[in-house]
Amino acid sequence: MTLLLEELRHNKLLWLLVFVPVVFAAETLAPEAHTLLFVLSVLAIVPLAALLSHATESVAAKTGDAVGGLLNATLGNLTELVIALAALRAGQYVLVKASLAGAIVTNTLFMLGGSLLLGGLKYHVQEYNRISARMQAGMLFLATVALLVPSAVSQADSVAGAAFTQRLSVGLSVLLIIAYALGMLFSLKTHPELFAGAESGEAGEAPWPMNLALATLAGVTVLVALVSEVFVESVQEAAEAFGMSPAFVGFIVVSLVGAAAEMASAFSGARKNRLDLSVGVALGSASQIALFVAPVLVLVSYLIGPTPMDLQFWPGAIVMMFIATMSASLVTNSGRSAWFVGVLLLMVYAIFAMTLYLLPPGVA
Amino acid sequence: MTLLLEELRHNKLLWLLVFVPVVFAAETLAPEAHTLLFVLSVLAIVPLAALLSHATESVAAKTGDAVGGLLNATLGNLTELVIALAALRAGQYVLVKASLAGAIVTNTLFMLGGSLLLGGLKYHVQEYNRISARMQAGMLFLATVALLVPSAVSQADSVAGAAFTQRLSVGLSVLLIIAYALGMLFSLKTHPELFAGAESGEAGEAPWPMNLALATLAGVTVLVALVSEVFVESVQEAAEAFGMSPAFVGFIVVSLVGAAAEMASAFSGARKNRLDLSVGVALGSASQIALFVAPVLVLVSYLIGPTPMDLQFWPGAIVMMFIATMSASLVTNSGRSAWFVGVLLLMVYAIFAMTLYLLPPGVA
Amino acid sequence: MTLLLEELRHNKLLWLLVFVPVVFAAETLAPEAHTLLFVLSVLAIVPLAALLSHATESVAAKTGDAVGGLLNATLGNLTELVIALAALRAGQYVLVKASLAGAIVTNTLFMLGGSLLLGGLKYHVQEYNRISARMQAGMLFLATVALLVPSAVSQADSVAGAAFTQRLSVGLSVLLIIAYALGMLFSLKTHPELFAGAESGEAGEAPWPMNLALATLAGVTVLVALVSEVFVESVQEAAEAFGMSPAFVGFIVVSLVGAAAEMASAFSGARKNRLDLSVGVALGSASQIALFVAPVLVLVSYLIGPTPMDLQFWPGAIVMMFIATMSASLVTNSGRSAWFVGVLLLMVYAIFAMTLYLLPPGVA
């Protein structure tokens, strides 16, 4: 408890935890105030995501390298997963898919671009381990390709029916999870030295004792799940009130909220000239979404969704995912960076955000 | 005046200046001889573009590094800009867009490919500064991506209407100009050393005195504008007479005419084993079109065009721009070149040209 | 003859030659047993392809570097060419095109991925000549782009008619063959040192004497042609019996059969830590299909096909070819490999194969 309080003092972000009870109170008192509920649930999710991230790392630090790495890799996108599950249960498949595609785009363009810009404003030229960055960019490229092939192929051939898409989605989900498992075997067991730079994690923050970490992990996951439900219920109508298209909300707003905790550590890594950490978090998180979160959601949709979900994305989302991963590949290719490289990535992100914001409803 | 005459003696290209009065005479005497006017205006624009380019460099050389670089970067594609403005005033948006996309493709495939081939025929293997080439290829890639995202997204979703496209085009134009300004800040102020090789410009030709340079700049710009009007008026009907599709004229003919002056310096750089110069001119010019000329035309269309112009390109143009920039990225990645690399780029250009030439009218 | 027998003892694959007479017998006795004929013809083509490959190399080894290299480069995909010619004569253009696209995808993903995986299971990290790999990946990229541009452009613009596609296909075929000839000039004459690693070929196996090699070359080509006819006639109906879509058969089954011999040498090279050989065979073979086999088939279709064939591919095939070559470019960029890189390439291949397998008939 003292540790938690100390954490509260150090980490200003956690003061936002006060919004957790507020959001539940508001939901009971004013269940129709969608815009208010939306804002409150965003404010409540951000500190919960930070707690979740710290708890995961603490458990990982205690359990030793292999299991710890496994935990970190699997629970790293727990917030995104829980939000997506809440949307899945509500049958909001458009939102789920937009948030998956958006998370990939946000991680590779906004998180990476922001890191390179923030780092570049402090250091003239920054260097990082290009071998590990290349490996991760390549993994991300191929992961995203895997995710978008079925959409591209069946898009091109409108003859292919829903049954085809559904069967293909299940098969691909199994393949992607196998690839993900092999990827962990590769990065944790057989070739950990290639990922050395990125693994060192958020050093500096002392890990919590095991009991506290496990209790936090369990408790906070439940809280995120509860708040996510409020978030998912209110997001659609709040978006209308703000004049945002649903595509913009799923792609940009949900993704930024879900990735807030990782973003904080990627940005602070860049400011400390530890770009390996930033690149690792940004690209690793994006490929985890493509290789693990997306296929798990497809399989889980058979258990908890009203109808099964498939992996077919809206064509604009495919274009954006493809461009985002291509940009990341090109940018990380050299192992060197200066501030303008970050600006270029952020510009592409801004262009996507603007396009989505202006998109008339009913398109995505 | 003596300097101008000396220039005339040295630079055989300038003898074509005789066609400037000829084109005006022909326009008065035979305003319906479209094919003749087209040929004459092409012959007149080429030496004017060369003069414009030399005058810009002379002013740039006199005004010191920062302002000079700024001038060079902004006025480098003055010919293209003036031709496009003439087409804009005539409401020929299809021609404007084809010439923008064509300029990007021509610079990255024909100018770069030609330089690598000509250099490679003289030197067995040529090396150049891969860091600067990569930086420029990356900038070009991201610039082109920015240009084609709205087309790709709204292409994919035909639901999105004209109002959406128009608002998006204005917003993107502002974003692109900001990116362009930041890019100049980067290459001229904060990180000029990364662009060292390319900046050294057309050394060897003595700069003109300031007065002459400024007068030439002003006078020749007016002449280019006048000749461009004849060119734009005659191009459509001349194309039909030659059996060329409008897409071929805009993409290939207009782009080659507009880039003639830069091409001369890129090719001569390659023959002197100064590939940094050639790569810098080719890729720099292409990204200037994407980041500066295109958005300026969109914004200016609100002032001088019959109706506003948007940034939505014909799908085939998007495919070509994307492939052209991808090819440039791949080719310049290694910092080494031999003649066959140039052949490959030229082959892709020839394939594009052939496709456009055979395309039935009414498509692009 | 003794040499042939000795070869038989060494190379277990050649025992499959027993299926050559069996397939002819079966065709006479049971011409309607399509499934049986299909299986038998596959089993017969594999050892014939291996013999053809060995004979080509033997002739190449005897005729000196330039002519030998020329022979090797031209006859390397003789099996694919003969199979495609048989399909062409039968007017099965869908099968021809699927097998061309499939050969490019299979060589770049399955052959390269399998080599990297098999090599990586034996060696922790493998290095290879990145300059030559890059050169080949770049050539492949541009070759494939050349092949897919017309499809992409005319796909995007459905207005363009069949006459346009046909004229364009002939023009492009001529361009591609010129590019191929220049590429041989480059790799054999002017810059052979860049391809040093890959050229060393299947050393270790003693070449045959000239007479034997030439006789084998001639005789086996005839046999392959005869067996291919049985294969092409039976493949469609056998596919239905197995529940495979025609796209899957053309893309996956025919490609794997046609490339069996090269695959054997690429895989064995990787196991001997000679990745230069594997990368050279995989990418070289793929670009040969794009630059030589495909255009030759278009031109030959005017002589032997019922109607001319064009170069327009089904959109899903374009997406797959493009992704395959992009993946190869990214992966070979670093000149280093570990087992997981191979897994990723194989995963993309598995995703393609699964998509094609599930595709309802009538799409591709």
Establish if A331 touches chain B: CB-CB under 8 angstroms. yes
As a whole number of angstroms, the distance between CA C322 and CA C149 comes to 10
Report the amino acid identity of residue C237: E
Residue C262 has pLDDT above 50, yes or no: yes
CB B130 within 8 A of CB B332: yes
* Neighbouring-strand partners of residue B253: none
Angle between helices C275-288 and C260-271 (to 10 degrees): 160
Question: Which band of pLDDT confidence, cut at 50, 70 and 90, is reported for residue C198?
Answer: very low
As a whole number of angstroms, the distance between CA C169 and CA C299 comes to 9
Residue A280 has pLDDT above 50, yes or no: yes
Question: Which band of pLDDT confidence, cut at 50, 70 and 90, is reported for residue A117?
Answer: very high
Nearest to A142 among C327, C334, C354 (CB): C327
* Most confidently predicted of A258-267, C142-151, C173-182: C173-182
As a whole number of angstroms, the distance between CA A333 and CA A134 comes to 6
Residues whose CB falls within 8 Å of the CB of residue A21, separated by 6 or more in sequence, listed in order: none
What local confidence, expressed as pLDDT, does residue B51 receive?
A: 83
B344–C190: do the CB atoms touch at under 8 Å? no
Average pLDDT over residues A164-185: 88
As a whole number of angstroms, the distance between CA A71 and CA A59 comes to 8
- Who wins on pLDDT, B57 or C160? B57
C363–A157: do the CB atoms touch at under 8 Å? yes
What local confidence, expressed as pLDDT, does residue A67 receive?
A: 65
Residue A272 has pLDDT above 60, yes or no: yes
Residues of B in contact with C152 (CB under 8 A): 316, 319
B340–C171: do the CB atoms touch at under 8 Å? no
Question: Which band of pLDDT confidence, cut at 50, 70 and 90, is reported for residue A154?
Answer: low
Question: Which band of pLDDT confidence, cut at 50, 70 and 90, is reported for residue A350?
Answer: very high
- The mean pLDDT value of chain B amounts to 82
Return the residue in B151, B153, B176, B331 with the most chain A beta carbons within 10 A, the one to mutate for interface testing. B153
Question: Which band of pLDDT confidence, cut at 50, 70 and 90, is reported for residue A1?
Answer: low
What local confidence, expressed as pLDDT, does residue B83 receive?
A: 85
Report the amino acid identity of residue A197: G
Nearest to B330 among C131, C182, C329 (CB): C329
- Who wins on pLDDT, A73 or B28? B28
Average pLDDT over residues A40-54: 85
| Tens of pLDDT, residues B134-145 | 777 877 887 788
CA distance C234 to chain B (A): 37
As a whole number of angstroms, the distance between CA C316 and CA C333 comes to 26
CA distance C32 to chain A (A): 31
Residues of B in contact with A347 (CB under 8 A): 142, 146, 175, 178-179
What local confidence, expressed as pLDDT, does residue B203 receive?
A: 47
Give the DSSP letter string of B35-64.
Answer: HHHHHHHHHHHHHHHHHHHHHHHHHHHHS-
Residue A346 has pLDDT above 90, yes or no: yes
Question: Which band of pLDDT confidence, cut at 50, 70 and 90, is reported for residue A198?
Answer: very low
Residue A6 has pLDDT above 80, yes or no: no
> What are the CA-CA distances from residue B226 to residues B14, B89, B97 (Å)?
18, 12, 20
What local confidence, expressed as pLDDT, does residue B202 receive?
A: 47
As a whole number of angstroms, the distance between CA B192 and CA B196 comes to 6
Residue A51 has pLDDT above 50, yes or no: yes
Residue B35 has pLDDT above 80, yes or no: yes
As a whole number of angstroms, the distance between CA B228 and CA B15 comes to 19
What local confidence, expressed as pLDDT, does residue A284 receive?
A: 84
A344–B160: do the CB atoms touch at under 8 Å? no
Helix, strand, coil distribution of chain A in percent, nearest 5 = 80, 0, 15
Residues whose CB falls within 8 Å of the CB of residue C147, separated by 6 or more in sequence, listed in order: C176, C290, C294, C311, C313, C321
What local confidence, expressed as pLDDT, does residue A208 receive?
A: 77
Establish if C139 touches chain B: CB-CB under 8 angstroms. yes
Establish if A182 touches chain C: CB-CB under 8 angstroms. yes
As a whole number of angstroms, the distance between CA A258 and CA A262 comes to 9
Residue C114 has pLDDT above 90, yes or no: yes
Residue B348 has pLDDT above 70, yes or no: yes
ipTM: 0.84
Tell me what percent of the residues of chain A surpass a pLDDT of 70.
88
B327–C141: do the CB atoms touch at under 8 Å? yes
| Tens of pLDDT, residues B108-158 | 999 999 999 999 999 988 888 777 787 778 778 877 887 777 777 665 555
Residue B291 has pLDDT above 70, yes or no: yes
**Chains in contact with B, counting 3 or more C-beta pairs less than 8 Å apart as contact:** A, C
Residue B159 has pLDDT above 60, yes or no: no
Nearest to A355 among B138, B168, B194 (CB): B168
Establish if B136 touches chain A: CB-CB under 8 angstroms. no
**Chains in contact with C, counting 3 or more C-beta pairs less than 8 Å apart as contact:** A, B
Pairing of strands A126-127, A336-337: antiparallel
> What are the CA-CA distances from residue B13 to residues B46, B78, B167, C297, C355 (Å)?
8, 18, 43, 45, 57
CB A83 within 8 A of CB A45: yes
Nearest to B175 among A316, A339, A351 (CB): A351
C352–A194: do the CB atoms touch at under 8 Å? no
C343–A182: do the CB atoms touch at under 8 Å? yes
Establish if B146 touches chain A: CB-CB under 8 angstroms. yes
Residue A48 has pLDDT above 70, yes or no: yes
Rounded to two decimals, the pTM is 0.86
Residues whose CB falls within 8 Å of the CB of residue C318, separated by 6 or more in sequence, listed in order: C101, C148, C151, C152, C155
Q: Which of A219-228, A236-245, B111-120 has the lowest mean pLDDT?
A: A236-245
| Tens of pLDDT, residues B52-85 | 877 877 777 776 656 666 676 677 788 888 888 8
- Write down the H helix ranges in chain C: 2-10, 19-29, 34-62, 65-75, 78-89, 93-105, 112-122, 130-156, 162-184, 196-199, 210-242, 246-248, 255-258, 260-271, 275-288, 294-304, 315-332, 339-358
Question: Which band of pLDDT confidence, cut at 50, 70 and 90, is reported for residue B198?
Answer: very low
Establish if A335 touches chain B: CB-CB under 8 angstroms. no
Residues of A in contact with C327 (CB under 8 A): 141-142, 145
What local confidence, expressed as pLDDT, does residue B350 receive?
A: 92
Helix (H, G, I), strand (E, B) or coil at A13: helix
Residue A286 has pLDDT above 60, yes or no: yes
Residues whose CB falls within 8 Å of the CB of residue C146, separated by 6 or more in sequence, listed in order: B347, B348, B351, C172, C175, C176, C179, C290, C291
Q: Which of A53-67, B197-211, B226-240 has the lowest mean pLDDT?
A: B197-211
Average pLDDT over residues B304-318: 82
CA angle C231, C234, C238 (to 5 degrees): 120
Residue A159 has pLDDT above 70, yes or no: no
Residues of B in contact with C291 (CB under 8 A): none
Residues of A in contact with B146 (CB under 8 A): 347-348, 351
Tell me what percent of the residues of chain B surpass a pLDDT of 70.
88
What local confidence, expressed as pLDDT, does residue C68 receive?
A: 66
Q: CA gyration radius for chain B?
A: 20
CA distance B204 to chain C (A): 32
CB pairs under 8 A between B and C: 97
Average pLDDT over residues B300-322: 85
Establish if A159 touches chain C: CB-CB under 8 angstroms. yes
Residue A92 has pLDDT above 80, yes or no: yes
Establish if C170 touches chain B: CB-CB under 8 angstroms. no
Residue A135 has pLDDT above 80, yes or no: no
What local confidence, expressed as pLDDT, does residue C122 receive?
A: 92
A319–B138: do the CB atoms touch at under 8 Å? no
